[in-house]
Amino acid sequence: MNTAITNLRRIDVLDVLRGFAIVSIMLLHNIEHFDFYFLPENLPLWMKSMDKIIWDSLFFLFGGKSYSIFALFFGVTYAIQLSRQKEKGKSFDGIFAWRMLLLFGFGIFNSAFYQGDILEIYAVLGLLLIPLCKLAEKAIFGIAVILLLLPYEWMNLLYALQHPHESISNPESWSYFDKMIIYVGKSSLWDTIIGNLTNGKMAVMLWNWENGRFFTILGLFLLGYLMGKRRLFEWSPQSERFWKKTFVIAVLAFIPLYLIQKQLKPLITSAIIRRPIVTMETSWSNLALMMILVSGITLLFYKTNLKSKLMYFSSFGRMSMSNYIIQSIIGTGIYYGWGLGLYQYTGATYCVLIALGLTILMGIFCKWWAKHHKQGPFETLWHKATWLGTRS
């Protein structure tokens, strides 16, 4: 199969999936108060019950899956960009490294409002694609599998099996998250920015490490790169077979993983043993459900008459980074103390209604913007700065 990516036309299903991911992220970020976990007490009992149902349902569907979709497509995009530069006879390594530095800058800006920013992590780990993607495809796939198996957690498990009665404390990140009330609850935007960029970044980095996210993200980058290189999001008999098989395998993997997840706490009484097992099992079940969503939406897009309806998400996906940053600014303005401070009054029910309203407004904005511009505002800045002084 010829793996050169010569078609410069946008692949609509990628925009649809990115858009789906950004909308689901908006739902999750809102019910989390943008990383500020605060449960209002003065709510009626029926609403508290509804809050729990909404919280559990949204996290089941999207928690740990939406960011995985972005990580996967980060690799897909890298494969497309790398192929296009190779066709022009140009090296992409230096440009890509510069592009990651710019992405890190966008991440710092986003972190000033929302400490849970993922762009900085993508920027640093993205640099590893430069050497790793020079390897043979089998080697790349093997490294991806090892990373997704979370090798550090296996080391923790081996240690735990040798010391099953050793007591463990709460994850270190929790102590940093507990300090958020000091600055998020204040009415000063400046205090919030300083808190997010200091205490907040420590909380987020530690949390990602404790949950194996660094390994998972890089593993998904590599899998996405292989998918992009093999053009699996462009419809063909080969890609159709791949997505049908992927859907079946992902379903067969998810069902037992999810059932096991529900039984881990009563089955494993040792906390030090249970923690790495839960971390691995949660990561793998999230990965399986993410692949169900990606393969299922891809098949629906190409094989059913739902394509026109799914294209609603396309405008979100075409400017996914802009949507990601804009929702951080608007969302923290709604919930944090420097803005409306609604974290004090809103549970998941109110928050999901706010999120749906923001989704409608952002959808209108995205469609309007797309009529006048090829890329979103932050994508335009990123593109212009990437190719500054060169020809793309």
Element (H, E) at 264: helix 264-267
Chain-centroid distance of CA 356 in Å reads 19
As a whole number of angstroms, the distance between CA 213 and CA 147 comes to: 10
Residue-by-residue DSSP string for 23-41: HHHHHHHHHTTTT-----S
- Are the CB atoms for 66 and 220 separated by under 8 Å? no
Nearest to 227 by CA among 8, 11, 9: 11
As a whole number of angstroms, the distance between CA 297 and CA 192 comes to: 38
Residue 388 CA neighbour count, 13 Å, CB half: 9
As a whole number of angstroms, the distance between CA 248 and CA 330 comes to: 39
Q: What is the pLDDT along the chain (392 residues), one digit of tens a residue?
A: 334 444 456 899 999 999 999 999 999 999 999 999 888 988 999 999 999 999 999 999 999 999 999 999 999 999 999 998 898 888 899 999 999 999 999 999 999 999 999 999 999 999 999 999 999 999 999 999 999 999 999 999 999 999 999 999 999 999 999 999 999 988 899 999 999 999 999 999 999 999 999 999 999 999 999 999 999 999 999 999 999 999 999 999 999 999 998 888 888 999 999 999 999 999 999 999 999 999 999 999 999 999 999 999 999 999 999 999 999 999 999 999 999 999 999 999 999 999 999 999 999 999 999 999 989 999 999 999 998 866 65
231 Cβ partners below 8 Å, 6+ apart?
3, 5, 239
As a whole number of angstroms, the distance between CA 100 and CA 80 comes to: 16
| Domain boundaries of the chain, sorted by first residue | 12-386
Nearest to 126 by CA among 169, 166, 176, 76: 76
Nearest to 221 by CA among 98, 342, 131, 317: 131
pLDDT of residue 3: 40
- 263: tokens are 């039984």
What is the length of the chain? 392
What is the value of pTM for the model shown?
A: 0.93
Residue 369 CA neighbour count, 13 Å, CB half: 22
Residue type, 278: V
As a whole number of angstroms, the distance between CA 96 and CA 103 comes to: 10
pLDDT of residue 264: 86
